[in-house]
Structure formats: C-alpha cells, structure tokens
Amino acid sequence: AGQPTTATISADKPGPVYDKLIFTQFAEHLGNGIYGGLWVGNDKSIPNTNGFRNDVVSALRKLSVPVIRWPGGCFADEYHWREGIGPKAQRPVKVNTHWGGVTEPNTVGTHEFFELLRQVGAEAYIAGNVGSGTPQEMAEWVEYMTAPAGSLAELRAKNGRKEPWSVPYFGVGNELWGCGGNMRPEFAADETRRYATFIKAPAGTRIMKIAAGANVDDTNWTDAMMRVAGPMLDGVSLHYYVHPAGGWPPRAPAVDFDEHGWADALAGARRMDDLITKHSAVMDKYDPEKRIFLAVDEWGAWYAQDPGTKPGFLRQQNTLRDALIASIHLDTFARHADRVRMSAIAQMVNVLQAMILTDGPKMVLTPTYHVFEMYKPWQDATVLPIDIETPQYTKDEFTMPAVSGSAVRSRDGRVHVGLSNLDPNQSNTVTIKLDGVNAKGVSGRVLTAPAINSHNTFDKPEVVKPAAFSGARLQGDQLVVTLPAKSVVVLELQ
Ligand code: AHR
C-alpha cells in the first residue's frame, strides 16, 4: 500500500563525521527559557539542585546535550557579565528590552550557567556582547572564566569558583546585521576581527571563535565575513527559521493548522538544504579545505505565540509537524556534515521549537524532544551516503520529496537509518539497497500520532511518543521499510 521509494546506502563509501555539536542546545534569557523553565532558585515546591529543576535537567541528560549556547540571542548583545556575578541580592535588576520588557534579575549569571552545564553534562558556547559592549569587557569575561591566575581569577574564586572553567566555543556577538547592532557586512566583519583579537585562551587551552553569521539567504554577509575575518575564525554561523504563512512576522498558529500549514512548514524545513549549499559555496571560495565550520546556531519553527501567553515570550506548542521539521533538519545536516559541524535548535526549554515545556511544577516532553532522543546515535557517528528516489508529496503550492532520510555508522560499528514520511495521507514503502552492510537483523522505533497537529500537554503528555516499530525487514542485501503516513522512523541494523 502507499507509495514506493527506493534508496541506496553506501556504507562502503563512508562520509564525514556527524559532529555531536550539531545537537547543541540554545538557552536565552527570553520568556521562561531560563527563569521558570530551568531555574527555580529557592522555590522548594519544585525539586531542584542548586536552583536548577531536577525534572528538566534529568530529561536533558537523556539527550546527551553536548553544548549549550548562552545567554542569547539578541539578549547577548546587551548582556553585561559583571552584573551577573557576586551576591545575588546585590546584582542589578535590568529590563529585558528585547523580550517582553520584563525585569531581568541577573540571578542566573556566569556561575549559575556553569552549574547548569555541570548538571546537564554539557560544555559552554558563550555568546559575547559586541553590539553594546567593548572588546575590553569581552576580554575580561573570557579571562574571568578561564584564567588560572590574576585578579579576575581571584574574583572568580571569591565568588565561589577557584578552578578555571573551560570555554571551548565563543560567539563574537549575535545577529550583528540586526539586534546585535544593525551593522553592514564589512563593518561587522571588521568589528569581528577587532573583538576576536582579544578573545584569548590561556596556555594549553583553545577557544573556538564563531562569527555572527548571515540571516537566511544573505550570502553577501557570509562572503564579507569570510573574506575579512575568516583567518581569525573557527566558525561562521547561519540563522534560519521556518515561518509558515508568509514569513515575518510569525503568524502561523502552532497547533490550529490544516494540511496546507503542514506542507508549508515542511517545505520551509527542506529549504535549509538549499541555504547551506549556497553559504557553503561562498565559504569554499575562501576556505576550500573546510577549516572553518558553518554553525547553524539558530534554527527551527517560529510560529505566532500561543494564545494567552505573555507577549515577547515566544511560547509555542510543539506538534507532530515539529517532529518532522526536526528530522528533516537533522537529515539535512548529514548531507552537509563536511561543513556543518555545529547547529543549535532554538530553543531548549519553553521558547520556540522547544524540547521541553514547563508550567510551574509541571513538565512535558515535546515531539521534537523525542526526535532528538531517537537521533542520539548520530552524535559523532560517520555519515553513510544515502541516495533516495522518492515520489513528490504535493499540497497546494508546496511540493517536496515525500521521504527524508540519513544514515550513519555509530562508533560501536552499528548502522542507524532515519527515515521520515512527510506525506500525512499515505504510507510509503522504502526499499533500500545496503552496499557494504552485513546486517543480520533490524530493530527500530517510530514516532507518529493520530493527527498532523497531535501534541503533548501536561494533562496528556504521551500522545506523541516513540513506539517499537515492526515495519522493517531484511530481504537479502535489501532493507524494506513501510513508513506510516506522517512518521519518523529510526532503525538500527544488527
Ligand atoms: O531565538 C530568538 C531570537 O531569534 C534570537 O534572540 C535572535 O538571535 C534571533 O533573531
């Protein structure tokens, strides 16, 4: 039944490593992304460890989050790190001018962020303040965090942390073309050179510097950044959000959509492939060896805020459609793993396409969370080329290949295959030729749900969750998989 698709996995022609940094998470001081979602401080009614809620941290640990990007986003270019250290009662209360105009108590600062990293088991990707800070302020923050000795190291020790922290990744501002300072590309690239000069790692350590990259298809920005600042950089970022219903400002509802909205969003997710191809081509001009990586450090669906939620908090529900948006992106990054070595979905908790939603003491895992959990074997695995011949799925003006997929060999030698059926109406039987795979068995899990907009709520948290999958079988050197309509399937070959 349903549509037929054929594919070949060339395990005998292994590709690049699927860097685990592609599973980086992003936590901004925005809405309940930090306060309420991660940090509950002294609120004894929500079980926590040193202020961070145990339920959320434990769920994040199960994703093996490698890195967390913080404190923004747009917030980063107005954040002054000195306001977030020392006794909490003495920290200034500011206004979060970007996000809802609410007060920012500075309760979560540098020390608290590193405590979160310790609990989650992740590493730091700090976004520095270029837009409204100075090179000196940025340099001193780096020194405060990483220096083994000196007055800033002593101040750090006085504030409770003697040993330096490790800061492997540092962002030189954020969206300098917009909220980070409304700069023109050449100016931003010059500023990036200037600020990057003062980001200094102590002897024996390394800080990878990532430039604030382009918006969507602005390859002119990538060109200027690579040409002017490339030699000083390790990575250049790219931001692209899926905005169904006509782009900016976000107006599509997160839940109350029909098949038109489904197809619109999935076509938007497929666009990431083309964007990476274009930006990579520009990067190739200056860096054919691909020394500098592309960090797609903001991606995901951005809808209208859920009705009744606070303005500027970017709170949105997450449906089966978001699961497919996530799997399409993760497959896309596999095709570009030679250049894309980091990505960060926006954002980790309670904001935009989140892993986790909370409300007071309640917590629920989203369909997107489940995709990230199912794709865990991709972390640091070797990409195996997969060539897919699939019919098109069409709805109104949107047309796209019906099946998305990627394959990897994990470090334990096992082959993992991810396949998503974008068609919400028909199953799809995929016959995959396995070149260079000696498989004796196959097992898998599937994520699907009754409706395209099925989602998890605090009252019904398990409407969309992975289940055992029995629709795959080995037939000689072929793998035959029947994908249910609107599903994400992840298989492991034994
Ligand atoms: O993720 C929300 C916002 O989107 C970020 O703060 C900003 O970098 C981007 O415009």
Cα separation, 363 vs 173, in Å, equals 32
> Does 222 score more than 70 pLDDT?
yes
Average pLDDT over every residue of 480-494: 98
Cα separation, 254 vs 62, in Å, equals 26
Average pLDDT over every residue of 147-172: 98
Nearest atom in ligand 1 to the alpha carbon of residue 241 is: 4
For ligand 1, whether the C-beta of 85 sits within 6 Å is no
Mutate to test the pocket of ligand 1, among 239, 343, 351 (most ligand atoms within 8 A of CB): 239
Give the distance (Å) from ligand 1 centre to CA of residue 26: 10
Is the pTM here over 0.95, yes or no?
yes
Cα separation, 208 vs 71, in Å, equals 17
Give the distance (Å) from ligand 1 centre to CA of residue 347: 9
Domain CATH for 421: 2.60.40.1180
For residue 54, the enclosing domain spans 18-379
pLDDT at 2 (0 to 100): 74
Domain CATH for 25: 3.20.20.80
Residue 432 tokens, joined: 């995959």
Residue 147 in 3-state DSSP?
Answer: coil
pLDDT tens column, 343-372: 999 999 999 999 999 999 999 999 999 999
- Give burial (CB, 10 Å; 0-12/13-18/19+) of 344: buried
In the set 78, 115, 298, 373, the catalytic residue is 298
Residue 239 in 3-state DSSP?
Answer: strand
Q: Are residues 104 and 182 in the same domain?
A: yes
> Does 1 score more than 90 pLDDT?
no
Q: Are residues 336 and 204 in the same domain?
A: yes
Q: Are residues 319 and 450 in the same domain?
A: no
Q: Are residues 409 and 280 in the same domain?
A: no
Give the distance (Å) from ligand 1 centre to CA of residue 28: 9
- β-partners of residue 487 are 421
Residue 292 tokens, joined: 């500098």
Q: What's 348's DSSP letter?
A: S
pLDDT tens column, 179-202: 999 999 999 999 999 999 999 999
Average pLDDT over every residue of 450-455: 98
Instruction: Using the 3D structure, point to which of 344, 361, 379 is the last residue of a domain.
Output: 379
Q: Are residues 356 and 389 in the same domain?
A: no
Q: Are residues 23 and 41 in the same domain?
A: yes
How many domains does the chain divide into? Answer: 2
> Tokens 């492997």, residue?
168
Complex ipTM over 0.85? yes
pLDDT tens column, 397-442: 999 999 999 999 999 999 999 999 999 999 999 999 999 999 999 9
Average pLDDT over every residue of 373-385: 98
Residue type, 467: A
Half-sphere exposure of 200 toward its Cβ, with a 13 Å CA cutoff? Answer: 12
Instruction: Using the 3D structure, point to which of 355, 379, 403 is the last residue of a domain.
Output: 379
pLDDT tens column, 58-113: 999 999 999 999 999 999 999 999 999 999 999 999 999 999 999 999 999 999 99
Instruction: Using the 3D structure, point to which of 379, 411, 427 is the last residue of a domain.
Output: 379
pLDDT at 43 (0 to 100): 87
Q: Are residues 347 and 402 in the same domain?
A: no
Q: Are residues 463 and 416 in the same domain?
A: yes
pLDDT tens column, 98-113: 999 999 999 999 999 9
Q: Are residues 409 and 375 in the same domain?
A: no
Q: Are residues 329 and 310 in the same domain?
A: yes
Cα separation, 206 vs 132, in Å, equals 26
Q: pLDDT above 90 covers what percent of the chain?
A: 98
Q: Are residues 322 and 401 in the same domain?
A: no
Q: Are residues 453 and 341 in the same domain?
A: no
